[in-house]
Amino acid sequence: MKAARYTLTHVLQGLALVMAVVVLNFLLVHMAPGDPVETIAGASGGMSDELKAQLRADYGLDKPLLTQLGVYLGKVARGDLGFSYFFNLPVTALILERVPATLLLVLSAVLGAFVLGTALGVLASRKPNGWLSQLVTVLSLVGFSAPVFWTGILLVILFASALPIFPVAGMRAADSTASGLAGVPDVLHHLVLPAFTLAIVYLAQYSRLSRASMLDVLGSDFIRTARAKGLADRVVLYKHALRNAVLPVVTVLGLQFGNVLAGAILVETVFNWPGLGRLAFDSVLRRDYPTILGVLLFSSIVVVVMNLVTDLCYRLIDPRIKTA
């Protein structure tokens, strides 16, 4: 009963937060410099003033800003995100078409960074002054300092000319006709470089954080008690210490999911990955307000959901929170 009430409270708080983000995004996007109608006119090679006025009326851009906001909130409440100015398709359809590619990229990068980073941190904590610990420290500093787009461009240059092992653009080969399970190897082959580029920053963070957390936990009284009982080092390390040391990593993972989505925009642009990040980038250039707002709304919902999932994972990992 307490768990259900806890979850319901957080869901209601998340809905209120998403609504506030929708309002803020709408105001910021419409107050930014640029005019969608002028952008469309420039792309089409010119347009009469009468046609421009007609487009503004069709898109509702001739109404006061607060009136536009009220109309948009009413549509969002009904699940209608509007039509794209540029693609001339429902925004919901555009987002649903791009979601699988972005989720594949983001989840691959996050899970890979979490698992590998935690493993490196645990191994480095066993000998804090050993060569592996020093190597993890150096790699972490390098990985965290390198901008995502810079790493991506270097990988594109490297694997486009020097070592043409992996494809550097797209999600599938241009001449590929495989579909379903037959196309999975091709997609995974294209996924390697974008996922690695996105994961390397978070891999550096998680390895350093898990190493520091493990060192802190290994000095605790209950670890000394477990070792005094004669438990094997492997049991002490992975059954007792790791479960407590992984809590800060889980927290950072949940809180940084929004940053991962932001990094995906750069990665998808560099590698021409057909996901939401690429859609958002193209929509910003074309002043496609409905598509921009739709992508931001989806990203906000994902971040809120991930924070809720992080809280629930905390309750599963740490018995003290469940008891409280």
pLDDT score, position 133: 74
Same domain, 177 and 310: yes
Residue 75 confidence (pLDDT): 87
Q: What was the pLDDT predicted at 49?
A: 78
pTM as predicted: 0.78
| SS3 annotation, 176-245 | CCCCHHHHHHHHHHHHHHHHHHHHHHHHHHHHHHHHHHHHHHHCCHHHHHHHHCCCCHHHHHHHHHHHHH
Where b means 16+ CB within 10 Å and e means fewer, 202-232 reads bbbbbbbbbbbbbbebbeeeebeebeeeeee
Any domain includes 20? yes
CATH code of the domain in which 184 resides: 1.10.3720.10
Q: How far apart are CA 30 and CA 234, in angstroms?
A: 57
pLDDT of residue 180: 64
pLDDT of residue 309: 77
The pLDDT value given to residue 174: 67
Domain identity same for 248 and 150: yes
- How far is it, in rounded angstroms, from Cα 86 to Cα 269? 18
Both 46 and 16 in a single domain?
yes
Same domain, 69 and 149: no
Question: What's the pLDDT at 321?
Answer: 55
The answer on 140 and 43 residing in a single domain is no
pLDDT in tens, the chain (324 residues): 666 776 777 778 888 888 888 899 888 888 877 777 777 777 666 677 787 788 788 778 788 888 888 888 888 888 888 888 888 889 999 999 988 888 888 888 888 888 888 888 888 777 777 777 777 777 777 777 778 778 888 888 888 777 778 887 778 776 666 666 667 888 888 888 888 888 887 888 888 888 888 888 777 777 777 777 777 777 777 777 777 777 777 777 777 776 777 778 888 888 888 888 888 888 888 888 889 899 888 888 888 887 777 777 766 666 555 555
* Residue ending a domain, choose from 42, 77, 112: 77
d(CA 279, CA 56) in angstroms, rounded, equals 23
For residue 63, the enclosing domain spans 12-77
- 126 with 216, same domain: the answer is yes
Q: Domain tally for the chain?
A: 2
Considering the domain boundaries, does residue 54 fall inside one? yes
